[in-house]
Amino acid sequence: MMERVYNFSPGPSMLAQSVLEKAQQEMVVYGNTGMSVMEMSHRSKMYTDIYDKTVADLRDLMNIPDTHEVLLLQGGATQQFSAIPLNLMVNGKADYIDSGNFAHLAAEEAKRYGEVNIVASSRDDVYTYIPDWKKGAFTPDADYVHITSNNTIYGTRYVELPEVNAPLVTDASSMILSEVMDVSKFGVIYAGAQKNIGPSGLCVVIVRKDLLGKAKDICPKLLNWEVQAKAGSMYNTPNTYGIYLAGLTFQWVKEMGGVAEMEKINIEKAALLYDFLDNSKLFKATAQKEFRSRMNVTFITGDADKDAAFVKAAAAEGLVNLKGHRSVGGMRASIYNAMPREGVVKLVDFMKKFEAENI
C-alpha cells in the first residue's frame, strides 16, 4: 500500500490514523454483533448505544450544558443555512456578519425567508479580516445574529465574540473541537463534519432548548430542529456510519487530552507556520495578523507561476492539497486537529528549501 501523505485539504480533510485503523478493524464485524455498523438497524440497541455514546462524548468534550440539545443531522453545514431562518425567524428579521464566502452564502439563503441585515462586511477587501461589528448597527428585534467563527477560505477567525441580545448563531465548521468554546454563549453552534469530525454529509447542531418549537409552518419536517430533537436525530434514517466515525474521532480527541489540549497543539502548529511566513523573503501570509486562523493558513508568493510551482513541488514530496481556494488563489495549508505536528514541520522545512531555490 502507498504511504499516507500529509493532506492539507480544507475539507474533506485528514482523519486521525488511529480512527481509520479502528474503523478498518471493525468494518466487517463490530464487536460481538456479527455485522458491520453500516448494516445495523438505526433503531436497534446495538446502534443506539453507539449513537448515545457519540453524543455523550461530544457533550463531555465541549462541556455542553443541559440547556442545549445535540443533533446529528444530514445535509452538511449548507443545509443549516436554510434550517436556521426556517427554525428561528419568528419576527422575520436576522443580523448577519459577512466575514467570508460561507457567511455570505448563509445570508443569501436567509434572505429567502425574511429580512436580512448585514451588520458588517469585509467582502470588498477580499475578506482578509473580520469586519468591525462594533461599529455596526444591530437590529433591536432580530431573531438571531449569525457569525462564522473561522473563515475557511480566507484563513481568519473571530478573536472576540459580539456581545448581542439576540441568540448568537455560529457556523463552526472549520474550528469546532480545535479550541475551547463557551457553549452557553451561543443559541446555536453548527458544524459540517468533514473538517474536524469525520466524513462529509453529517452536521453537528447544538441548539439551546428554548429556541426549539419556533419553526415556520413551511419548514420541512426534516429541517425542523424540534422534530429532530424529539426523534433523537432519527426522524428518518440518519447517517449511521458517519455518526459512528464521528464517535471514533471524539474518542480520539479524548485520548489526546481533550479540546483544551488540542487547542495548545493547534496554537503551536499555527505558530510554526506563521513565524516562518513572517520572516520569509518569498512567502507572505495574506490574512491580517490580528485575525489569523489556527486552522487555515493562507499565503502567497506574489507570483502566480511561483505559487503553482510550489504547490506542484510540495505534492511531489507528499505535502498535498496546498492550492488556495479558486476564488483567491495562492496557497492554503489547512491544519485541522488530525494534521500531526510533524506534517507542519515537514511543510515548513520544504518551504525553506523552496525559498532558497527560488529567491
Ligand X SMILES: *Cc1c(COP(=O)(O)O)cnc(C)c1O
- The distance between the two most distant Cα atoms of the chain, rounded to a whole number of Å, is 63
Q: CB-wise, 239 or 286, nearer to ligand X? A: 239
Q: CB-wise, 70 or 202, nearer to ligand X? A: 202
User: What single-letter amino acid sits at 106?
Assistant: A
Q: CB-wise, 84 or 282, nearer to ligand X? A: 84
Spatial contact of 259 and 334, defined as CB atoms under 8 Å apart:
no
Q: How far is 320 from 329, CA to CA, in rounded Å? A: 16
Residue keyed to cell 441548539:
207
Question: Taking Cα atoms as reference points, which of 87, 58, 88, 82 lies closest to residue 72?
Answer: 58
Alpha helices (H) along the chain: 17-26, 45-62, 76-88, 101-110, 225-230, 240-255, 259-279, 304-316, 341-358
102 lies in the binding site for ligand X (CB under 6 A): yes
Q: CB-wise, 40 or 262, nearer to ligand X? A: 262
198 lies in the binding site for ligand X (CB under 6 A): no
324 lies in the binding site for ligand X (CB under 6 A): no
Q: How far is 180 from 86, CA to CA, in rounded Å? A: 29
Instruction: Tell me, residue by residue from 141 to 170, as one string, x for binding to ligand X by CB under 6 A and - for no binding.
Output: -------x---x------------------
Distances (CA, A) of 194 to 47, 138, 145, 221, 246: 22, 32, 25, 25, 10
Size of the site for ligand X (CB under 6 A): 12
Q: How far is 172 from 112, CA to CA, in rounded Å? A: 23
The one among 9, 87, 173, 266 contacting ligand X by CB under 6 A = 173
The one among 77, 166, 207, 273 contacting ligand X by CB under 6 A = 77
The one among 200, 280, 288, 358 contacting ligand X by CB under 6 A = 200
78 lies in the binding site for ligand X (CB under 6 A): yes
171 lies in the binding site for ligand X (CB under 6 A): yes
247 lies in the binding site for ligand X (CB under 6 A): no
**At its nearest, how many Å lie between ligand X and the CB of residue 336?**
10
Q: CB-wise, 174 or 266, nearer to ligand X? A: 174
- Cis-peptide, bond into residue 12, ω within 30° of zero: yes
Query: Nearest residue by C-beta to ligand X?
Result: 76
337 lies in the binding site for ligand X (CB under 6 A): no
Q: CB-wise, 233 or 301, nearer to ligand X? A: 233
How many other CB atoms are there within 10 angstroms of residue 240's CB atom?
18
76 lies in the binding site for ligand X (CB under 6 A): yes
The one among 114, 155, 187, 192 contacting ligand X by CB under 6 A = 192
89's CB contacts (< 8 A; 6+ apart) are 110, 113, 114, 143, 216
Site for ligand X in 26-45 (CB under 6 A): none
User: What single-letter amino acid sits at 317?
Assistant: E
The one among 87, 174, 178, 224 contacting ligand X by CB under 6 A = 174
**At its nearest, how many Å lie between ligand X and the CB of residue 158?**
12
Compute CA 58 distance to the chain's CA centroid, rounded to the nearest angstrom. Answer: 15
Strands of the sheet containing 296-300, edge to edge, are: 284-285, 296-300, 331-334
**At its nearest, how many Å lie between ligand X and the CB of residue 223?**
14
Spatial contact of 293 and 156, defined as CB atoms under 8 Å apart:
yes
Q: CB-wise, 245 or 282, nearer to ligand X? A: 245
Residues that bind ligand X (CB under 6 A): 11, 76-78, 102, 148, 152, 171, 173-174, 192, 200
